[in-house]
Structure 1
Amino acid sequence: MADESSPDKRLVYDVPEAGALLGLGRNASYEAAKRGDIPTIRIGKLLRVPKVAFDQMLTRGNSE
């Protein structure tokens, strides 16, 4: 049985994880999220990156 926390099963990333997928460090990831370059949602005090929105952002970036 697959681990539910594996990256392909999760619905959200934290900001540093999403940034790392783009080759960014922690601070650069939060700056990109602040600028809106990385799509985010807030859940209470937590800032998360929805996997679907992140994947769509990457797809749009390739088609422009």
Structure 2
Amino acid sequence: MNEELKTLLSRPTASIPDVDRVCFGLARQASYAAAKNGDIPTIKVGRSLFVPTVALRKILGIEVAA
């Protein structure tokens, strides 16, 4: 696991463009399209969308630390 991914997963949430760039190699527009389609789990805070890193770990098959 590279340092950028470790840093991303160390937080409770991450931005959609960061997640998709680091984990899936998607551009910004494709990132938001994937989130809108439900391919990437998100939570809404105000008008902003974030990816919960617990859900991201499940998608990536990375164990959640207890």
Residue 45 of structure 1, CA deviation: 1.0
Choose which of 30, 33, 55 in structure 1 pairs with 2:32: 30
Report the TM-score, using the length of structure 1 for normalisation: 0.75
Aligned to 2:55: 53
Structure with greater helix percent: 2
Report the TM-score, using the length of structure 2 for normalisation: 0.73
Unaligned runs of 5+ in 1: 1-5, 60-64
Residue 7 of structure 1, CA deviation: 2.5
Unaligned runs of 5+ in 2: 1-6, 62-66
Residue identity opposite 2:57 in structure 1: D
Larger radius of gyration: 1
Spell out structure 1 runs of 4+ moving beyond 6 A.
Answer: none
RMSD: 1.2
Residue identity opposite 1:28 in structure 2: A
> In the aligned structure 2, how far is the partner of 1:17 from the partner of 1:31?
14
